[in-house]
Amino acid sequence: MEEQLFFKKLNSLDTSKEIFDFISSQEAMSDIMASGALQRISEVEVGDNGLKNPDGVLKNEVFRALCFQFECESSKLSNIGLLNALQALIKLRIDPQSTLIASLLSEGKERLHKGQLTVKNLCALGESLLELEGPNCVQLEQILNQIQEKDIENWSPWEMAMVYKMLQKTFSKGEQYQDLLNRLNSVTLNTVSQLSPKFTSIILNSLVVLHQTQAVPLVTALCKHSVKHIPCFTVNELVNVLEAFLYFGHCEEIFTEALETHTPKSVFTMHPETASKIMQYCCQKMILSKPIMDAAAEGFITGANRFTTDQIAWYIIPFGTLNYQPPSAPSLFRKLENILHCHFSHFQPHTLINLLHSCVLIQRFPVNFLPKIFSSYFLQQLQAQPPGLDRTVTSQLTQLFLTVTLECPFYEGPKLLSKYQVKSFLKPHTSLDVHLLKRVKTGLLYLLKKRTYFASDVSTPYFYTVDIEIKLDEEGFVLPAAHCEEVQRRIALCVDGQNRFCVNSHNLLGEEAIKQRHLQLLGYEVVQIPFFEIESLQNCSQMAQYLHKKIFPHICGLGC
């Protein structure tokens, strides 16, 4: 009862001075009470940048007396008093080489060796060892070996999180503790609803590092649980959660909705790493979230100078990938151009290519920087750094060159040498929907009567592949696909399945949008056949009628 009253009063105090006055008024304290006082001091005095008032704490007579007593009587302390004091003193940035820390740590290791510590004690010691000696500490393996023999059914969320953290730090020995990890994953699943933001983030981060791709139910539960904590996560915690979503390929609509609520409110004060990770999440999940992207654009305009070059790239690339220009696009890309003018040499070559390529997808043409990009010096830099001039990079370079050729006729700078150009573009996100293509081809056959009147998967001399090509003569008659003479019009049918659009959207992805734009500039009549227009068509007759209206809107009957 005395300890309960002590801690109730202690936890109501908000400054170290109040805590020291309170301690001075006590006639006697147990070691648990004294270590609790040290922990409370660390809670109120330690901020993001260390101790708020170092002299007021470290030089205080009451504090020094407590430290002296812990150092001299370490062997007489209870396990809880010993390990709580050690944790608090580490948090207060006491010199790790001091005799105080050495005495407490030595005593903790001695009790570990004798097998005198409970699971809670083992977790506390493990956390302290990670802080002081890092993941290579030899005692971590000893701690995990003892933990592995314990019953884990009644562990607290803190104990679970600490064991995950230790397993993460000893990742190289992962197979040795896989049985413990499997048991831990199973038990944690039943306690997800009790996890704080901190523990949710720690466990998700550990599951990523430990490659626990088989723990799908736990990952799913943690991802859903994280939604309610979004406003409460610290910078690092939210980054860990986003990385888990990306690593496990998880996509939770309510999580995105929560980000859409949180981001506009906090974008101007949000840490650059968090903001860029949110944009990376949207980009990799192909989620066109206008609330997030509009807010991100405003945040970049006002705070871009705080970003690293990699963060800038992750911030801007999604606009191109998702084919979206926010209302503040002119200011956004003017800001980007100013940054590139001032810090061009600070960007890694491959980062620059990704960044500038994303800009041309949405008709933001980096003509002032292309002379540098197409220079032999820059291309040599690209080649010298992994992944070098692989197919993806040369495709991006070729598309940059084609863009300025077609859309920037005023560009008079260096050209991209043919040896750096590809014969056809890679299309990782916009590959054909085979089922959809088959339906369209069946409808065309019904309409045109002969398979020879259209060709599919047609390579062009301009790097693009056309899904379906139809050739017309001067009078508008359909020509056989193999016919090369008398061709007056070429129709390119773009059969756009769901994978060519942003998720749950009718907005084309940037790489498909630029393809259709360029095909038009190259003389094709582009006819888009989006999945959402034909998914309700029931038979070949309906498909043929639809295609007739789309391809030949002004012709009542077809001559072939």
Pick from 221, 250, 279: which residue ends a domain?
Answer: 250
pLDDT at 169: 83
Residues 439, 521: contact at Cβ < 8 Å?
A: no
Pick from 228, 250, 272: which residue ends a domain?
Answer: 250
> Domain check: are 437 and 529 in the same one?
yes
Peptide bond into 386 cis (omega under 30): no
> Domain check: are 111 and 157 in the same one?
no
DSSP symbols for 457-524: EEE-TTS-EEEEEEEE-TTSPEEPTT--SS--EEEEEEEE-GGGB-TTSSPBPHHHHHHHHHHHHTTE
92/54 Cα distance (integer angstroms): 9
Pick from 199, 215, 250: which residue ends a domain?
Answer: 250
In which band, very low, low, confident or very high, does the pLDDT at 559 lie, cut at 50, 70 and 90? very low
Domain count across the chain: 3
Q: Is residue 304 assigned to a domain?
A: no
Q: From the CB of residue 11, how many other CB atoms can be counted at a distance below 10 Å?
A: 11
> Domain check: are 99 and 6 in the same one?
yes
- Summarised one tens digit per residue, pLDDT across range 194-250 is 999 999 999 999 999 999 999 999 999 999 999 999 999 998 999 999 999 999 988
pLDDT at 275: 94
pLDDT at 117: 94
Q: What is the pTM of this model?
A: 0.84
pLDDT at 49: 78
Residues 325, 319: contact at Cβ < 8 Å?
A: yes
- Summarised one tens digit per residue, pLDDT across range 505-530 is 999 999 999 999 999 999 999 999 99
DSSP-assigned letter for residue 159: H
- Summarised one tens digit per residue, pLDDT across range 267-279 is 999 999 999 999 9
Q: Is residue 353 assigned to a domain?
A: no
List CB contacts of 531: < 8 A, sequence separation 6 or more.
433, 436, 496, 497, 498, 501
295/394 Cα distance (integer angstroms): 33
> Domain check: are 449 and 541 in the same one?
yes
In which band, very low, low, confident or very high, does the pLDDT at 60 lie, cut at 50, 70 and 90? very high
Exposure b/e, 321-347, CB count within 10 A at least 16 = b? bbbbbbeeeeebbebbeebbeeeeeeb
> Domain check: are 230 and 158 in the same one?
yes
Q: Is residue 420 assigned to a domain?
A: no
Torsion 267-268-269-272 (CA) sign:
positive
> Domain check: are 445 and 501 in the same one?
yes
CA distances from 162 to 28, 184, 421 (A): 32, 11, 52
- Summarised one tens digit per residue, pLDDT across range 98-136 is 999 999 999 999 999 999 999 999 999 999 999 999 888
Radius of gyration from C-alpha coordinates of the chain: 32
Q: What are the structure tokens assigned to 459, written together?
A: 């390579």
Which has more pLDDT, 231 or 557? 231
What backbone torsions phi and psi does residue 287 show, to the nearest 5 degrees? -100, 115
158-174 mean pLDDT: 83
List CB contacts of 12: < 8 A, sequence separation 6 or more.
none
Q: Is residue 473 assigned to a domain?
A: yes
Q: What are the structure tokens assigned to 390, written together?
A: 């692989």
Using alpha carbons, select from 259, 232, 169, 175 the residue that is nearest to residue 206: 169
End-to-end CA distance of the chain: 97
pLDDT at 283: 95
Count how many Cα atoms sit within 13 Å of the Cα of residue 11 in the half-sphere of its side chain. 7
- For residue 387, the Cα-to-chain-centroid distance in whole angstroms is 21
pLDDT at 427: 63
- Summarised one tens digit per residue, pLDDT across range 458-506 is 988 889 999 999 999 998 899 999 998 889 999 999 999 999 999 999 9
Q: With 90 as the cut, is the pLDDT of residue 431 above it?
A: no
> Domain check: are 181 and 103 in the same one?
no
Q: With 70 as the cut, is the pLDDT of residue 356 above it?
A: yes
Q: How many contiguous H segments (helices) and E segments (strands) does the chain have?
A: 27, 7
Using alpha carbons, select from 132, 134, 110 the residue that is nearest to residue 121: 110
367-385 mean pLDDT: 95
Beta strand pairing status for 465-472 and 478-479? antiparallel
Torsion 179-182-186-189 (CA) sign:
positive
> Domain check: are 544 and 452 in the same one?
yes
The CATH number for 464's domain is 3.40.960
pLDDT at 50: 82
Q: Is residue 328 assigned to a domain?
A: no
The residue segments making up the domain with residue 544 are 431-552
Instruction: Residue count of the chain, please give it.
Output: 560
Helix (H) or strand (E) holding 525: strand 524-530
List CB contacts of 214: < 8 A, sequence separation 6 or more.
none
> Domain check: are 109 and 161 in the same one?
no
Q: Is residue 158 assigned to a domain?
A: yes
| High-pLDDT (> 90) share of the chain, % | 83
560/554 Cα distance (integer angstroms): 16
Helical H segments across 194-252, by residue range: 197-209, 216-226, 235-248
> Domain check: are 441 and 532 in the same one?
yes
The residue behind tokens 């004091």 is 85
Residues 548, 558: contact at Cβ < 8 Å?
A: yes
List CB contacts of 158: < 8 A, sequence separation 6 or more.
123, 199
Residues 291, 321: contact at Cβ < 8 Å?
A: no
Task: Identify the bridge partners of residue 466 per DSSP, sorted by sequence position.
Answer: 458
Q: Is residue 210 assigned to a domain?
A: yes
pLDDT at 304: 93
527/544 Cα distance (integer angstroms): 15
Q: With 50 as the cut, is the pLDDT of residue 560 above it?
A: no
Beta strand pairing status for 489-496 and 524-530? parallel
- Summarised one tens digit per residue, pLDDT across range 277-321 is 999 999 999 999 999 999 999 999 999 999 999 999 999 999 999
Q: From the CB of residue 277, how many other CB atoms can be counted at a distance below 10 Å?
A: 22
> Domain check: are 111 and 162 in the same one?
no
Using alpha carbons, select from 298, 293, 271 the residue that is nearest to residue 282: 293
Burial class (CB in 10 A: 0-12, 13-18, 19+), 66: buried
Q: Is residue 111 assigned to a domain?
A: yes
The mean of the pLDDT values for the chain is 92
Burial class (CB in 10 A: 0-12, 13-18, 19+), 293: buried
pLDDT at 150: 87
